[in-house]
Amino acid sequence: MIQIFSQSEIARRLNSAQALMKRENIDALLITNEENFQYFTGTSGTVCLHYSNARPAILVVPSEGEPVAIVGSATEDVVKKAVKNVISYTSTMGIPTQLYVSALKDAGLRANGIRIGIEEGLEMRLGIPLGELLKLMKSLPEAKFVDAASLIWELRMIKSKEEQEYMRKAAEITGRARQKVFDLFQKGMTHRQVARLFSKLMLEEGADRIAFVHVGCKEPLNHTQFHSETPLIDGDILYLDGGAYVRTHTIDYPRIAVVGKASEEMRRYHKVLIDISRKMADSIKPGITCFDLWKRGYDLIKEAGFRPFEVGRMGHGQGMLPTEPPSVSSEDRTILKPGMIISTEPLFNVEKDIVMIWEDVHVVTEDGHEQITLETEELHEIGKY
């Protein structure tokens, strides 16, 4: 078996989850989301790297004892090396409701009066059809289904040393690949060509897969994942965002380049942006809230004489997904704790249709923070001129 995480790491996650479940009076977690399945088992329950709509993997985590997995027969042998109790199925027409009930019973639970936590709330997605969940609820009328999203995020927001190491490697790979894109760029390349080159180079630098690539230039072209065939010409600002996966974890942060010679105004904007980013990062420490960090960025942008670009936040958590809770926003009062990984992402409008964006990623430490995105802050001038 390929060990993605140590056995002690997986045991720690399970023990922490069960402690929180007792605190919240939850008897079992019904895990249907693939990231959460990977988080609690250290392996994937599907042949696909991310999701299999035809053969989803399910995990029942009881408040005491061992989890029970329901997986397609193709992955049964692999999952058995990570989970002691496995139920397999061969159907591609949905998981029979009885298998869910069997998994609950195998976990030592009975239907009468139990509270089952499901992935219902903030930034969670069910990994099974709603119809299957409704059938299960109907078959267990005495059970109560409750939202366990906040409990799961409470666990996932704190990254272990093993998780942090994957994310450092992801940042290094992403940074090396992006610098090569800037070196290889030629005027006239389209947004789509740049995106494909960035993806190719991340894989060549050691990525297991690509989280996403985002190529922006001027509004509104930077608001979609479908990259245009528009060529980049002199004076264009290339905003190149993306992230590589290393095993289960990824990263998300952009850098900026100018096609041809950068104007003095552009250099000034970039200098202001970097200064705001550094000052936001300097305020990261345990005990402050996400709101505090957002307010710091907002105030700095206003003091510099610019208008904050309103997208709802100026940073976010990262980990198994490029964006995770918490959000650096006016709405999020999450208190930063050691082990959290958070980005600072100041962004503001400048002349015409240009938005300046910068992002770095930080581990919250006992007395401050450690920046793990160490790619150069230079404003690149790219293309032969």
The two tokens of residue 328 are 């650096």
| Separation CA 312–CA 79 (nearest Å) | 40
Which of 36, 196, 189, 40 has its CA nearest to residue 127? 36
- According to the model, what pLDDT value does residue 353 have? 74
| Separation CA 215–CA 238 (nearest Å) | 7
Name the strands in the sheet holding 324-327, side by side, starting at the edge strand that comes first in the sequence: 324-327, 316-317, 341-344, 360-364, 369-371
The answer to whether position 258 is within a domain reads yes
Q: Are 111 and 182 within one domain?
A: no
**Residue ending a domain, choose from 122, 156, 190:** 156
State which residues form the domain around 17: 7-156
Q: Are 147 and 265 within one domain?
A: no
The two tokens of residue 257 are 């380049």
| Number of separate helices (H) and strands (E) present in the chain | 10, 18
Beta strands, E only, 254-309: 255-259, 307-308
Residue 171: in which H helix or E strand, if any?
helix 161-184
The two tokens of residue 16 are 């922490």
How does pLDDT run across 236-294, given as a tens digit for each residue?
999 999 999 999 999 999 999 999 999 999 999 999 999 999 999 999 999 999 999 99
| Residue 86's CATH number | 3.40.350.10
The answer to whether position 2 is within a domain reads no
Paired strand residues for 58: 70
* Eight-class DSSP state of 305: T
Tell me the C-alpha to C-alpha distance, in Å, between residue 261 and each of 185, 267, 355, 382.
14, 10, 18, 8
Q: Are 128 and 211 within one domain?
A: no
Q: pLDDT-derived band of residue 216, with 50, 70 and 90 as boundaries?
A: confident
Checking if the pLDDT of 126 tops 80, the result is: yes
Q: Are 166 and 310 within one domain?
A: yes
How does pLDDT run across 17-71, given as a tens digit for each residue?
999 999 999 999 999 999 999 999 999 988 765 567 888 999 999 999 999 999 9
The two tokens of residue 256 are 């900026």
On the CB side of 294, CA atoms within 13 Å amount to 22
* Eight-class DSSP state of 234: T
Q: Are 305 and 265 within one domain?
A: yes
| Separation CA 148–CA 30 (nearest Å) | 9
**Residue ending a domain, choose from 123, 138, 156:** 156
Q: Are 131 and 220 within one domain?
A: no
| Separation CA 227–CA 375 (nearest Å) | 24
The answer to whether 347 and 355 are in contact (CB under 8 A) is: yes
| Residue 174's CATH number | 3.90.230.10
Q: Are 165 and 213 within one domain?
A: yes
Residue 113 burial by CB count (10 A; 0-12/13-18/19+): exposed, middle or buried?
exposed
The number of distinct structural domains making up the chain is 2
**Residue ending a domain, choose from 156, 183, 205:** 156
Q: What average pLDDT score do residues 155-168 get?
A: 98
